[in-house]
Amino acid sequence: MNFIKKNITLPLIKNSKMKYLEIDKFASVINCMDGRTQLPVLEWIIEHYDIDYPDMITEAGPIKILAENKNKALVEAIKYRLDISVNKHHSKHIFIVAHYDCAGNPEKKAVQLKQLKKAIKRVKKMNFEVNEIIGLWVNKNWKVKKIE
């Protein structure tokens, strides 16, 4: 399976196994539903981490949802999908993504980065057994940067 973007082929299954094996490496990705963010985030994760299958959990403005914690139904829906990814697929990394020009969370970058940090804290409180929870920012050129 490949994604093709501007004559660049991105193999999503690096080891070409089609079987569902325990040795496959999954990650959980909480990302905006905005299609512009999907490929840059997948490319960045596959390039920087040893991941075979990113489980995509999408909402409109997920960092706002998690940071504010007002819409309990959406927070619980994200938690439910994280639970499947972490406990059934054995994801060891959770990525949480914020991005430029978000229609679901039309805030400036500085506000979104604060929300991202709150979203990371909220997910940490969910107590999933993972190695790392990573914040990512996708800029106006659709380049991904890890947020420390």
b/e per residue 87-119 (b: at least 16 CB within 10 A): eebebbbbbbbbbbebeebeeeeeebbebbbbb
Contact 145/112 with Cβ under 8 angstroms? no
CA distances from 132 to 49, 124, 135, 138 (A): 11, 9, 10, 19
Return the pLDDT at 148. 85
User: pLDDT grade, residue 1 (50/70/90)?
Assistant: very low
User: pLDDT, tens digit, for every residue of 58-112?
Assistant: 999 999 999 999 999 999 999 999 999 999 999 999 999 999 999 999 999 999 9
Around 80, how many Cα atoms within 13 Å sit in the side-chain half-sphere? 7
| pTM, 2 dp | 0.85
Around 61, how many Cα atoms within 13 Å sit in the side-chain half-sphere? 18
Phi then psi dihedrals of residue 124, to 5 deg: -60, -40
Q: Looking at the predicted structure, is the pLDDT value of residue 33 above 50?
A: yes
Residue of higher predicted confidence among 123 and 3: 123
User: pLDDT, tens digit, for every residue of 3-32?
Assistant: 434 444 444 444 444 444 455 799 999 999
β partners of residue 116:
none
Domains present along the chain, CATH in parentheses: 23-147 (3.40.1050.10)
Sign of the torsion angle spanned by Cα atoms 103, 143, 111, 59: positive
For 14, left (φ over 0), alpha (ψ -120 to 50), or beta?
alpha
The residue with tokens 């706002």 is: 64
